[in-house]
Amino acid sequence: MAATQVIRSEWTKIRSVASTVWTLSLAVVVTLAVGMLISALSRHEFGTMDPRAQMSFDATLVSFAGMTLGQLAMIVFGVLVVSNEYSTGMIRTSLAAVPRRATFLASKVAVATGLALVVGMATSFAAFFLGQAMLGSLRTSLDSPGVLRAVVGGGLYMTLIAVFSMGVAAMLRSPMLSLGILMPFFFLISNILGNVSVTKKVGRFLPDQAGSRIMQVVPRAGDDTPYGPWGGLGIMALWVIAALAGGYAVLRRRDA
């Protein structure tokens, strides 16, 4: 089967599965709703903050507060795109139709990544503009230094979260197992490692901790992170590449 036919087939699979469409929709709604809420609360509470907190207030980052929950839906999307076929047994039919496993996985990841990128970018820009509207006089503008980079970076961050999840799902081949590892990793383990002084230097190199740096415009007081916004996104990209490589290795060596 030609590569274009495989890509067309993968697009049909994603589009026809209601759960993948709903998870992307949920990512958008949750990110925007929570971002607007936190932005409105931040405007209300700004006057009660101490001077140090006011100096490091990041209007751009505040508007992305919803991405913490929005990435949950992107993780689910990435897992479902890859593991749905394993849970239904359709993977045997797919691999029979596309015996070249590199082509099969690359086409699946390419289609899902393109979709995640479109949704991620649209969500990031919408979250920024809606969040700034809620911030009122505290708002910043897209042409301020570092802001456009942060907004574009927010879309890239959401995309990479989804792709990383695809790689993990390709390795584990089970939606329940993949979600059972990814959810605690991003929402518990990573936060603990990134905030406990003993493990902080290790935690900052985890994919979400490093990647989220791209959305930060105003440096935090006392921040000694050894990499910048693009460096952090680069570290996250290395995690993604490693996950995809692991997924391909498992797909190549194991039967459906």
The string of pLDDT tens digits covering residues 142-196 is 999 999 999 999 999 999 999 999 999 999 988 899 999 999 998 888 888 877 8
**Coil, strand or helix at 220:** coil
Contact 256, 92 (CB under 8 A): yes
pLDDT beyond 70 at 2: no
Q: Which of 41-50, 105-114, 243-252 has the lowest mean pLDDT?
A: 41-50
d(Cα 248, Cα 175) in Å, to the nearest integer? 17
d(CA 106, CA 234): 21
Letter for the amino acid at 115? L
Closest CA to 45 of 105, 135, 130: 135
* Maximum distance among all Cα pairs of the chain, rounded to whole angstroms: 64
pTM: 0.92
pLDDT digits (tens, 9 = 90+) for 94-146: 777 777 888 888 889 999 999 999 999 999 999 999 999 999 988 999 999 99
| Residue reference for tokens 């990128």 | 117
pLDDT confidence of residue 11: 82
* CA nearest neighbour of 241 among 101, 113, 67, 154: 113
What's the rounded Cα separation, in Å, for the pair 86 and 256? 8
